[in-house]
Amino acid sequence: MNYSTLQISFSSLLPLLKTLPNCSSLKPAIQISVKSASRRIFVMNSSSKLDSRSLSLSTCQVPGLEPEEMDSVVEQMFRRYSSSSGFKRGKGVAIVWFRNDLRVLDNEALYKAWISSEAVLPVYCVDPRLFGSTCYFGFPKTGALRAQFIVECLADLKRNLTKRGLNLLIQHGKPEEILPSLAKALGAHTVYAQMETCSEELYVEKMVSKGLKTVVLSPTSEKSASAKSSAARSPTFQLVWGTTMYHIDDLPFDTNSLPDVYTQFRRSVEAKCEIRDCIRLPALLGPPPSIDDWGSVPSLDKLGLQPPSVVKGMRFIGGESAALSRIYEYFWKKDLLRIYKETRNGMLGPDYSTKFSPWLASGSISPRLIHEEVRRYERKREANQSTYWVLFELIWRDYFRFLSVKYGNSLFHLGGPRKVESKWSQDKNLFESWRDGRTGYPLIDANMKELSTTGFMSNRGRQIVCSFLVRDMGIDWRMGAEWFETCLLDYDPCSNYGNWTYGAGVGNDPREDRYFSIPKQAQTYDPEGEYVAYWLPQLRMLPKDKRHFPGKMLYFEQVVPLKFGDAGRPQSQDFARRKTFGGKQAKDFRR
Ligand SMILES: Cc1cc2nc3c(=O)[nH]c(=O)nc-3n(C[C@H](O)[C@H](O)[C@H](O)COP(=O)(O)OP(=O)(O)OC[C@H]3O[C@@H](n4cnc5c(N)ncnc54)[C@H](O)[C@@H]3O)c2cc1C
Ligand SMILES: Nc1ncnc2c1ncn2[C@@H]1O[C@H](COP(=O)(O)OP(=O)(O)OP(=O)(O)O)[C@@H](O)[C@H]1O
């Protein structure tokens, strides 16, 4: 037994282990171990207390705070990121059309509406198209888990707006029908919204703009600040940029000349742009215009979906309050930001990575607010590679968003931005074995089960299952991307299709063949088979070194051979002793 390795690994794991009491069944094991110095790590690794059996009994809520603690975090964060100074305001009514910006803090559309009017009407349209089918393969466009998350985001937004003197009008139907009629009824001078970049969303924007042009505000009905002339006019439609950490207007290049390679993009923005501070809205935003019926947050039944229940793994809570609480929990309470870079390639449990993505995708939190919190942490506690690395990852998110502006619909096409021509299979049986977690490869199957059960999968897992579908099975990558679109809580067209084109070798990756070898990935990232045994309980009874390759007598038969065979498959107990975390072994992979 190599104790020095274990001790290093334990010291970096210590803050992580302290966090595990969220998963209630782990409490006793962790409390004992944290108190007893580093030698105990061996006891923990080899005892059954920290294995998949005890983990399997728990569902972890993310964030794992009690409601009272969440309330107090939210109040503090709202105080920190709101303004106390007065504002000069405009006249009349402005509408804010909420889309993927389901938050109050650092919301530029809401800010602009507030500053330009006497009364703001916040509106959300439950667009039936979001609950239709995906483009090519007809999967549900929004699965029940994400729908539930969005519903929770809406309920929280309504609550937070109400606390600040407003409310949220929830309407069912197409925005291009709802917004013009509201603008007409209220004589609203402007509709503000966050700008999107992919064609489905751009189409809706175009239709809203067209609809608003048909509305004529008579000079008498128009209560606009700018209604100085007596000429009748239509409400203005104002779209504001808001999804990224770097503002599009601050980029040192035009999006059409965006560097194709991530590293060039990152170096350029890091050297030449500043990340803007959050916009600080006033604490009170009301009163809203008088509305008879504000509508209610839809139920899953109303959306034609079965209400889901997460019985295993992570259960994410939707909404800005939960997002702010997760920042507090991950950065401040558990102090995990300090070690993010070492833990980020994990797969099991809530705390190996930030888990910010579902809230970022729904816009419940802005990346600029995360940036400000990272800087605050660096001032108050420590600045190190890990604190930087969260920003590094958020730049990936920006990069895919800006790429979608440059490359448009080619992001969704089989040949991707590079228009690569290759042969792909659409074999239904093979695809379904991948989708349902029956490939005969526990590492793939466990990840796919996690996805369908919770709506989440680690970044490591996503890269592995993508590589397997595309390179070992040879399946059309869009089938995988669309299944992710259905399931992911954090589904975002740019990050999803951007990463899939990358993984499928049709994006702008300087490395042509990004093959992820299952034996090697298993050995590096799940050396004891804890992750696979958690999601595939039938493997729990097996010795740890057999869990990744149990053989067809004990598990499903492998549906395809691996492209490069299973050389590298572990032969000995050594396998179970390899280090899970740490930079060195991860070096040959991008992230
Ligand atoms: C095939 C595939 C599909 C993906 N689909 C999506 C998707 O639809 N939506 C999505 O948000 N992410 C997607 N990702 C990126 C990444 O896997 C998730 O953002 C990450 O796992 C979310 O967990 P986290 O918040 O704990 O990440 P952390 O490791 O804590 O990273 C912090 C943040 O950085 C951003 N980030 C990290 N890695 C990436 C990346 N590769 N690309 C873009 N942003 C990144 C995310 O916003 C994330 O929340 C995909 C990756 C792959 C390989
Ligand atoms: N936000 C999004 N999420 C998922 N898919 C999207 C999103 N935006 C666009 N797409 C998909 O990308 C596809 C782009 O494909 P394409 O270029 O073929 O456009 P099209 O309008 O469908 O057809 P064509 O251009 O051939 O007339 C669209 O069909 C659309 O469904």
pLDDT tens per residue across span 131-155: 999 999 999 999 999 999 999 999 9
What's the confidence (pLDDT) of residue 36?
27
What's the confidence (pLDDT) of residue 220?
57
Tens of pLDDT, residues 340-366: 999 999 999 999 999 999 999 999 999
What's the confidence (pLDDT) of residue 19?
36
Q: Is the pLDDT of residue 430 over 50?
A: yes
Amino acid at 574: D
Pocket perturbation via mutation, ligand 1, pick of 451, 499, 516 by most ligand atoms within 8 A of CB = 499
User: How far is ligand 1, taken at its centre, from the CA of residue 495, in Å?
Assistant: 7
State whether CATH 3.40.50.620 applies to domain 86-242.
yes
User: How far is ligand 2, taken at its centre, from the CA of residue 496, in Å?
Assistant: 14
Closest CA to 375 of 398, 271, 367, 247: 367
Pocket perturbation via mutation, ligand 2, pick of 129, 135, 206 by most ligand atoms within 8 A of CB = 135
Q: Is the pLDDT of residue 179 over 90?
A: yes
Q: Measured between alpha carbons, how far is 359 from 156 in angstroms, rounded to an integer?
A: 12
Q: Measured between alpha carbons, how far is 328 from 238 in angstroms, rounded to an integer?
A: 33
Third-level CATH fold of 428-586: DNA Cyclobutane Dipyrimidine Photolyase, subunit A; domain 3 (1.10.579)
Task: Please state the rounded mean pLDDT for residues 236-264.
Answer: 97
What's the confidence (pLDDT) of residue 292?
96
Contact assessment for residue 111 and residue 273, using Cβ atoms and an 8 Å cutoff: no
Contact assessment for residue 29 and residue 54, using Cβ atoms and an 8 Å cutoff: yes
For residues 78-91, one letter each, b for 16 or more C-beta atoms within 10 angstroms of the residue's C-beta and e for the rest, the string is: beebbeeeeeeebb
User: How far is ligand 1, taken at its centre, from the CA of residue 548, in Å?
Assistant: 25
CB of 201 within 6 A of ligand 2: the answer is yes
Task: Please state the rounded mean pLDDT for residues 447-456.
Answer: 98
What's the confidence (pLDDT) of residue 511?
72
- Ligand 2: atom nearest CA of 410 is 17
User: How far is ligand 2, taken at its centre, from the CA of residue 436, in Å?
Assistant: 26
Pocket perturbation via mutation, ligand 2, pick of 100, 139, 198, 199 by most ligand atoms within 8 A of CB = 199
User: How far is ligand 1, taken at its centre, from the CA of residue 311, in Å?
Assistant: 23
What's the confidence (pLDDT) of residue 565?
82
Protein residue whose Cα sits closest to atom 22 of ligand 1: 357
Within 6 Å (CB) of ligand 1, which residues are found? 344, 353-357, 360-361, 390, 393-394, 396-397, 400, 458-459, 462-463, 466, 484, 488, 490-492, 495-496, 499-500, 503
Q: What percent of the chain has pLDDT over 70?
A: 84
Amino acid at 258: L
Q: Is the pLDDT of residue 382 over 90?
A: yes
Amino acid at 407: Y
CB atoms within 10 A of CB 560: 17
With cut-offs at 50, 70 and 90, classify the pLDDT of residue 86. low
Tens of pLDDT, residues 18-57: 333 344 333 322 222 222 222 222 222 223 334 445 555 5
**CB-based contacts of 176: which residues, under 8 Å, 6+ apart?**
204, 207, 208, 210, 211
CB of 493 within 6 A of ligand 2: the answer is yes
**CB-based contacts of 178: which residues, under 8 Å, 6+ apart?**
123, 125, 171
Parallel, antiparallel, or unpaired: how do β-strands 313-316 and 190-194 relate?
A: unpaired
What's the confidence (pLDDT) of residue 567?
62
User: How far is ligand 2, taken at its centre, from the CA of residue 199, in Å?
Assistant: 6
User: How far is ligand 2, taken at its centre, from the CA of residue 369, in Å?
Assistant: 31
Contact assessment for residue 93 and residue 117, using Cβ atoms and an 8 Å cutoff: yes
Q: Measured between alpha carbons, how far is 406 from 433 in angstroms, rounded to an integer?
A: 35
Task: Write the CA distances from 62 to 310, 330, 463, 472, integer angstroms.
Answer: 12, 10, 23, 34
Contact assessment for residue 275 and residue 245, using Cβ atoms and an 8 Å cutoff: yes
Span of 22-26, 91-95, 393-397, 424-428 with lowest mean pLDDT: 22-26
What's the confidence (pLDDT) of residue 89?
84
CB of 198 within 6 A of ligand 2: the answer is yes
- pTM confidence score: 0.89
Tens of pLDDT, residues 206-234: 999 999 999 999 775 555 545 455 678 99
What's the confidence (pLDDT) of residue 37?
26
Tens of pLDDT, residues 269-312: 999 999 999 999 999 999 999 999 999 999 999 999 999 999 99
Would you kindly state where each structural domain of the chain is located, as residue ranges?
1-50, 86-242, 428-586
With cut-offs at 50, 70 and 90, classify the pLDDT of residue 421. very high
Q: Give the chain's mean pLDDT.
A: 87
User: How far is ligand 1, taken at its centre, from the CA of residue 288, in Å?
Assistant: 37
Q: Is the pLDDT of residue 11 over 90?
A: no
Span of 24-28, 196-200, 318-322, 363-367 with lowest mean pLDDT: 24-28
What's the confidence (pLDDT) of residue 579?
34
Closest CA to 122 of 132, 113, 131: 113
- Ligand 1: atom nearest CA of 480 is 1
With cut-offs at 50, 70 and 90, classify the pLDDT of residue 512. low
What's the confidence (pLDDT) of residue 508?
81
CB of 498 within 6 A of ligand 2: the answer is no
Amino acid at 406: K
Task: Please state the rounded mean pLDDT for residues 161-178.
Answer: 98
